[in-house]
Structure 1
Amino acid sequence: MMTASTFTRHREIAWRGGQTRSTSRLIAEEIAIALTYNGSAHAIMMGTPSDLEDFGIGFSLTEAIVERMSEISSIELVPNELGVEVRMWLEGDRAASLAARRRAISGPVGCGLCGIESLEQACRAPSQVAGRSTAFHARDLLGAMQALSPLQVLNQQTRSVHAAAFWHPRIGIGPVREDVGRHNALDKLAGAMALEGRSAEDGVVLLTSRVSVEMVQKAAMIGAPVLVAMSAPTALAIRTAEEAGITLLAIARDDGYGVFTHTRRVLLPEDAAPRADA
């Protein structure tokens, strides 16, 4: 039976500063996670064996397999010697719709694009984020990113996993989800918010990873108006965020970040240089 632990301890020979010593390190686990719908395999992802119900629900939402969590009639986690199967059963209409557009996704990196039969599916038009008048203070967004690191429990132990989190100016950060795959972490966050009945429309999604196009697509699917990431975006991610109506902030460091799209939602300090809105 595959262990459900999120990490294990491994011995290592450490060579640092010209010195060699025998020690050990906590290492993040990575297993095969099969997502099945109504008895048929749909995707096989490599990921961290935690919050897998969140993962199944979030993946279903961000990949447009369902529009609402209620369209998943049941979900079951079935471990076996190879990994874990996340078994989901859909309501009749959704099951028929999925069968009509059945596609296989299988890949070692959990990118969400492997095996897609049509390029149109990879480059699909993003969902439109509802227009909101809410704007966030630049320093508050920076503070949110700085506050995320201590909340990454698994990463504090292993230094090898990504996190996706939701921040609200009145509530703070939460939930936080982690995974060796950045896409998986975002899917887990989407599922956790759906289970809590929380909307992403009045807050901010925080990422500890780079921003590729599918991260923007997934954020758009859950209606997040602002996306803040630690690393840089791709050009396609920027164009997609622009099209979706998402304010994209990236390369977040201790001293600030870059605002790439829809700057109206970010209230920069008064001493900031004048700028044109996107």
Structure 2
Amino acid sequence: MAPHPAAREMPTDSGARALPEEVAVALTYQGSTQAVMMASPSDLEDFALGFSLSEGLIDSAREIESLDILPHPQGFEARLWLAAPRAEAMAARRRRSMGPVGCGLCGIDSLEAALRPLPERGHVALRLSQSALIGAADALRAQQPLQDATRAAHAAAFVTPQGDILCLREDVGRHNALDKLIGALARGGIDPATGAVLMTSRLSVDMVQKTAIAGAPVLCAVSAPTVLAVQQAEAAGLTLACLPRADRGQFDIFTRPDRITT
């Protein structure tokens, strides 16, 4: 089997092991750098679009006039040009940030911006069962080639009410994996309101923010959320759940339990 394109064999004292690639990805808008993120060098078009959406830089993919991924000696540039009205708004709120894989709020310039108001998703009438989510979590383990190769990657998946995984993206950074998923859904014309986001990582407040802005009404992970994540999910009308030991019947729902049936 060929190695995953986002992984590389590296020597160790006991032989060789595949490790995930991590590269700098500069996101530039109208010729100016908005953020530099460390990410896996795969699905970068999805990443650039998803980042733009989840950070509120655009409201729709239609506001992007062009998106090009350009290789550089130090990494990649995701070069985006926006339509005129959005370009003017970008100039008014431009900021620079350096985002390591473990941080999702780097570059935020005020406490108010860190806890930005979220769109209200309480009206979304989605229903799915615990068994569907548990089945999707089991299926998720067989659909992570980068994780299989390296044991060092996160995954974000979109799950239908029937428990099918419609789309999945991987990255060394959990925020990047979610942004890639959001971008993939937008490029595929899939409405996030029609399913749930399933993560292999912990749930912090920034993951709640990205999911709510993207429009998905349910966010589920294998690890428990933070207190602030629960508070933000409650305010946004987002269903927040975790299944740390679903094989033993542990399935915790923290907010809006009406969307998940037993």
Question: Is the shorter-chain TM-score for this pair beyond 0.5, marking a shared fold?
Answer: yes
Structure 1 counterpart SS, 2:192: coil
Whether 1:261 aligns to 2:260 is no
Whether 1:129 aligns to 2:121 is yes
Q: 1:31 and 1:110 mapped to 2: Cα distance?
A: 14
| 1:19-98 → structure 2 map (5 Å cutoff) | 22-98=14-90
* Residue type at the aligned position of 2:121: V
Q: 2:159 and 2:179 mapped to 1: Cα distance?
A: 16
TM-score with structure 1 setting the length: 0.89
Farther off after superposition, 73-82 or 107-116 = 107-116
In structure 1, the gaps of 5 or more residues are 14-21, 269-278
Whether 1:201 aligns to 2:228 is no
Structure 1 counterpart SS, 2:193: coil
Whether 1:236 aligns to 2:233 is no
Which residue of the partner structure matches residue 19 of structure 1? none
Q: 1:134 and 1:227 mapped to 2: Cα distance?
A: 12
Conserved in 2, the CA contact under 8 Å of 1:78 and 1:86? Answer: yes
- The CA RMSD measured in Å over matched residues stands at 1.4
* Residue type at the aligned position of 2:138: Q
In structure 2, the gaps of 5 or more residues are none
TM-score with structure 2 setting the length: 0.94
Which residue of the partner structure matches residue 276 of structure 1? none
Once the two structures are TM-superposed, the CA of residue 5 in structure 1 deviates from its matched residue by: 3.5
Once the two structures are TM-superposed, the CA of residue 117 in structure 1 deviates from its matched residue by: 1.4
Q: Greater CA radius of gyration, 1 or 2?
A: 1
* Residue type at the aligned position of 1:265: R
Which residue of the partner structure matches residue 9 of structure 1? 9
Q: 1:205 and 1:64 mapped to 2: Cα distance?
A: 19
Q: 1:167 and 1:199 mapped to 2: Cα distance?
A: 12
Query: C-alpha offsets along residues 7-46 of structure 1, whole Å, 9 cap, x if unaligned?
Result: 1001112xxxxxxxx2211100000000000100000000
Conserved in 2, the CA contact under 8 Å of 1:127 and 1:217? Answer: no
| 1:151-170 → structure 2 map (5 Å cutoff) | 151-170=143-162
Conserved in 2, the CA contact under 8 Å of 1:46 and 1:110? Answer: no
Q: 2:160 and 2:54 mapped to 1: Cα distance?
A: 21
Query: C-alpha offsets along residues 54-73 of structure 1, whole Å, 9 cap, x if unaligned?
Result: 00000000001000001011
Once the two structures are TM-superposed, the CA of residue 170 in structure 1 deviates from its matched residue by: 4.1
* Residue type at the aligned position of 1:262: R
